[in-house]
Structure 1
Amino acid sequence: MTTSQSAATAATTPAPDAPPRTPMERVALALASGATFLAVLDTTVVNIAFADLHKSFPTEALANLTWVVTAYTVVFAALLAVAGRVADVVGRRRLFLWSTVLFTLASLGSGAAQGLDMLVIARAVQGLGAAGMIPSALGLVLAHTPAPRRHAAIGVWGAVGSLAAAVGPSLGGLLVDVWGWRAVFLINLPLGVAITFLTVRKLAADRTDGRRMPDPIGTVALALGLGGLVFGVTQGSDWGWTDSRVLGLLIGGAVCTVLALVLSRRHSSPAIEWDLWRSRVFAGTNVSSFFFGASMYAYLLSSLLFLNTVWRYSELKAGLAVSPGAFAAAFGAVVVGRFAGPSRQWLAVGIGSAMFGGSLAALYGLLGTEQKYLEIMLPIGIVAGVGIGAALTGISNAAAAALPADRFAAGTGLLMTSRQVGGALGIAVFAAILSNAGMIGPHGYLRAFLASAICAGAAAVSSIGVRERAGR
């Protein structure tokens, strides 16, 4: 059975004791999956376009070009938690609609940018749109899906994200080869317009609970704090960890984050809802999400760069080479969503993380300068992909089960923030390892694979804590 067939089965097979599926349930899942596809695709295709970007802006240093990625990443991570909180207050459909419009317009602006400054600004706006889309999208799915079918719906949602990651590198390479780097942004327009149109026509407005908007001071402090921490970690390897700018960002980010936490304990409409953290399952899934994000994001970047710099694969060939693993992740997501019940989500997290960590350890022990794609990289990449899909879906399902219905988007935003902050730290560690290794041969990459394996192991261990908490 193909991945798409599995996804269709997961989406259409009734769960025991579940009411009949409604058109609104199907629409919410389709639109949320489409928006997630857009956001994930946009992240993966841009990595392939760096060489062509440098041709268009030859006077810009490579460090300046990395702002095309950094601007998106920092804004996205900084505003996820805030956006999830706002979605539950103003309405998930409303935030989803306007975030999709903003993301689509920013994609047009990115594709039409005539200078690097305008491109970076447009990418930051894209990050703002994506931060609003993701938590409101999953919040819509959870709100419109009966509890017995939520695991399967999250499995399909996660599989679509994995499919976007699968086609991103190869599609990005093809678009850049044929039309240039602008095409990787303009490709978002048809799907963005379609999602906007269908949201207006097909998705009914959801009821809000009448609560006030979150504390503005705490909200700004939270966004600045997370943004400062992620930005500081991201730039640490380039600027130096003792550089005054990095230290200022990290210290300022920590102070602002602590301020947001303190204000949230005292305010009647807080930026961060402490009630969510009273659920030990939800708190545990955030720990797993942090460690797994650190491992996964470092692996996704290091595997592409290894193929490109050590094995001398072209961007397109490297993208095609990692695609089977991403398709395997989609398969793992669907299987866990379809067959793992509420009491087994901790197993999905633990086994998936262990599979992923074991795969990374195998890469550390087996890879070298000799090109052995079929013998080593392909089979290990497939096992790693299944582990990624299983673990991410298990984390999302366990968190969703612990959230009250009126906090779906807020909880999703916090969960995704944990993953993004962990991912920023993982990539920073990867960059530091390469810098210390001097980019000589495969050694730096192998050390990075080992560090990622350790983080995946930490995620596997944390899954035991989720199980213990769930049983209390």
Structure 2
Amino acid sequence: MPPEALTARTSPAQRERPTAIVVVLCAAAFMAMLDVFVVNVAFTAIGRSFPGSSLPDLSWVLNGYAIVYAALLIPAGRLADRHSRKRGFLVGLAVFTLASAACAAAPSLWWLVAFRVLQAAGAAALTPASLGLMLTALPPERRAGAVKVWATTSSLAGALGPVAGGLLVQVSWHWIFLINLPVGLLAFAAAHRLVPDSRDESVVRTPDLTGATVLAVAIGAAALGLVKGDAWDWTGARTLTAFGVAILGVAVIAARISRRPDPVIDPALFRVRTFVWANITVLVFCTAFGALFFSVVLWLETAAGFSEIRTGLAIAPGPLMVPIFAAVGQRMARRVPVGLLVALGNLLFCAGTVMLAVGASTDPRYMTQILPGWIIIGIGIGLALPGMIGAATSDLPRTQAATGSAVVNTCRQLGYVLGVAVLIAVLGSLDGSSHHVRTAFQHGWWLIALAAALSAATALGIRPAQATTTVQRPARGRSRVSARLTRRQ
């Protein structure tokens, strides 16, 4: 990479504090992910605050956030690359923090959804900028470890989020948003002082914002069709129109990517083999994960009759396995190819979900029917997730750091949207006998297990070039396509 392609302004104090920089950037990413897990646990309490809200309507508290987050990640990453990664990070953090306060004050369900959309816009700005800043601020020998730490923060959020959500909901669900205020303010002040700025001076065009809008409409239409399909009739005009809009949107995005000089995604990225297979795996994995986490929370609070705090405590053991086995996976990665390690983790994810489906009964028993499978799922995620995220950008040049990470996170959010939407479609209204409810959840878990098995198969295509060349020939650590990406910039 030519040195003039990237600028990073650092003071001596900033260069001496790489650990502090990692902590600050990961703290902001952690806050954005924590909010997702906390809202899952508070879902039932939010529904009680807005009487008459159906499960499909309430699902937009989750899906509205995920759709906008997914649509804006890539253009936000490109804008940060072009203008200022630090400015993009700070603006995103400020918007997210202020929107959190607005969510806490929301007077109705749809106002809450609207403020969640604003939250998502802030998260979409800070997430790719945080990884881009990390990769440009740290010395080369610390980057790989820092990326894995950054990826694992979502796992830690998953471990703490349910418990924190359960505790906060005991006071009021409004506190799940208010807790972001002190964290956001502290992270803003620390980032402003410690984190050096950087940008890619070779990026001269504004990204395709129209394409990003079309992407949001397409994702929203697909989610709407899946969530409302049962109520509208799967072959009804409204459902078919929603799916038609989604298909048309995908076609428009594909055309704009291939023809425009400033596409929302650089098509050259998709000629990097590891990038493609890692993103496919992330998409399928997160579809399974998004559906599974939400399903287990609903199962505990509806079928098992757990309170929010009890649900949070019951959820915690699975996510607690993730950072532990992420560390185990990092040691295994020295001897086991990353694609094989990710496949192993996803197979464990599949096996744990099968255990949930087989063990489900009309009289749920947490210790014997839920906990064993849930722990195995957490172990599998710990082995798979850091490898997926790290491999996705390993063969890309640093000039594409923020944009590449934005694509990865877009796939994550797309997966969450699809997972929640498909789960809502499978579960229906959850009205009826306990036998009907059990059967609905079993159907959902079998579909999730199938998605996890598919993600294990696609993981075998993850074969980073750097995995075999970095030790002996660091100068050749990236693929030829990555080099072409740099020259194109």
Indicate yes or no: 2:125 matched with 1:132.
yes
Q: Distance in 1 between matches of 2:166 and 2:280?
A: 34
Q: In terms of mean alpha carbon deviation, does 99-108 or 27-36 score higher? A: 27-36
Give the Cα separation in 2 of the matches to 1:327 and 1:194. 26
* Count of equivalent residues: 451
Q: Deviations over 1:9-56 (max 9, x none)?
A: xxxxxxxxxxxx954532332122111211111112122334433443
| 1:42 matches 2:35 | yes
Residue 222 of structure 1 corresponds to: 215
Provide closer, same or farther for how the CA distance between residues 333 and 438 of structure 1 changes in structure 2, counting only shifts above 3 A: same
Partners of 1:325 and 1:385 within 8 A in 2: yes
Q: Quick one: which of 169, 172, 193 aligns to 2:165?
A: 172
Matched, 1:252 2:245: yes
Q: CA deviation at 1:263?
A: 1.9
One-letter amino acid of the structure 1 residue matched with residue 381 of structure 2: I
The alpha-carbon distance between structure 1 residues 437 and 373, as it changes in their structure 2 partners (threshold 3 A), is closer
Which position in structure 1 is the counterpart of 2:395?
402
Identify the range of structure 1 (154-163 vs 216-225) with the bigger mean alpha-carbon deviation. Answer: 216-225
CA distance in 2 between partners of 1:432 and 1:60 (Å): 16
- Aligned-residue Cα RMSD (Å) equals 2.6
- Equivalents in 2 of 1:342, 1:277: separation in Å? 28
The TM-score, its normalising length taken from structure 1, stands at: 0.88
Structure 1 gaps of 5+ residues are 1-20
TM-score (norm 2): 0.85
1:436, distance to aligned residue in structure 2 (A): 9.4
Q: Aligned pair 1:314/2:307, yes or no?
A: yes
Q: How do 1:96-135 and structure 2 match up within 5 A? A: 96-135=89-128
Deviations 1:252-280 (A, max 9, x none): 23323322221222222221101110001
Task: Give, in angstroms, the shift of residue 210 of structure 1.
Answer: 3.8
CA contact (8 A) 1:24 1:144 kept: no
Q: Counterpart in 2 of 1:13?
A: none
Aligned to 1:199: 191
Note if contact 2:67-2:414 (Cα within 8 Å) is conserved in structure 1. Answer: no
In structure 2, what is the equivalent of residue 387 of structure 1?
380
Could you tell me how far 1:161 is from its partner in structure 2?
Answer: 1.4
State whether residues 364 and 449 of structure 1, in contact with CA within 8 Å, keep that contact through their aligned partners in structure 2: yes
Q: Give the 3-state SS of the residue equivalent to 1:312 in structure 2.
A: coil
The one-letter code matched in structure 2 to 1:461 is A
Q: Percent identity?
A: 35
The aligned counterpart of 1:3 is none
- 2:449 equivalent among 421, 446, 453: 453
SS, match of residue 207 in structure 1 = strand
Q: Which moved more, 1:136-145 or 1:234-243?
A: 234-243
Would the alpha carbon gap of residues 44 and 248 (structure 1) be closer, same or farther in structure 2, given more than 3 Å must change? same
Find the aligned partners of 1:58 and 1:242 in 2 and give their Cα distance.
30
Partner of 2:145: 152
SS state of the match for residue 206, structure 1?
strand
- Looking at structure 1, the residues matched to 383 and 327 of structure 2 have their Cα atoms a distance apart, in angstroms, of 8
Counterpart position of 2:472: none
Alpha-carbon shift at residue 60 of structure 1 (Å): 4.8
Contact 2:82/2:199, CA 8 A, preserved across alignment: no
Q: Compared with structure 1, are the counterparts of its residues 292 and 210 closer, same or farther at alpha carbon in structure 2 (3 Å cutoff)? A: same
Contact residue 351 and residue 387 of structure 1 kept, 8 A: yes
Matched ranges for 1:57-76 at <5 A:
57-58=50-51, 60=53, 63-76=56-69
The offset of 1:427, in angstroms, is 2.3
1:358 aligns with 2:354: no
Cα gap change, 1:65/1:455 in structure 2, threshold over 3 Å: closer, same or farther? closer
Aligned positions of 1:265-280 closer than 5 A: 265-280=258-273
Matched to 1:444, the amino acid is A
User: Is 87-96 or 271-280 further displaced after alignment?
Assistant: 87-96
Is the alpha carbon distance of 1:338 and 1:106 closer, same or farther for their aligned partners in structure 2, counting shifts above 3 Å? farther
**Structure 2 match to 1:161:** 154
| Cα contact 2:55–2:429 (8 A) shared by 1 | no
395, 398, 417: which one pairs with 1:424?
417
Match of 1:7 in 2: none
Q: Which moved more, 1:145-154 or 1:415-424?
A: 145-154
User: 1:68-99: CA deviations, max 9, x gaps?
Assistant: 33321221122222222322222322211100
Instruction: State whether residues 77 and 227 of structure 1, in contact with CA within 8 Å, keep that contact through their aligned partners in structure 2.
Output: no
1:395–1:73 Cα change, 3 Å:
same
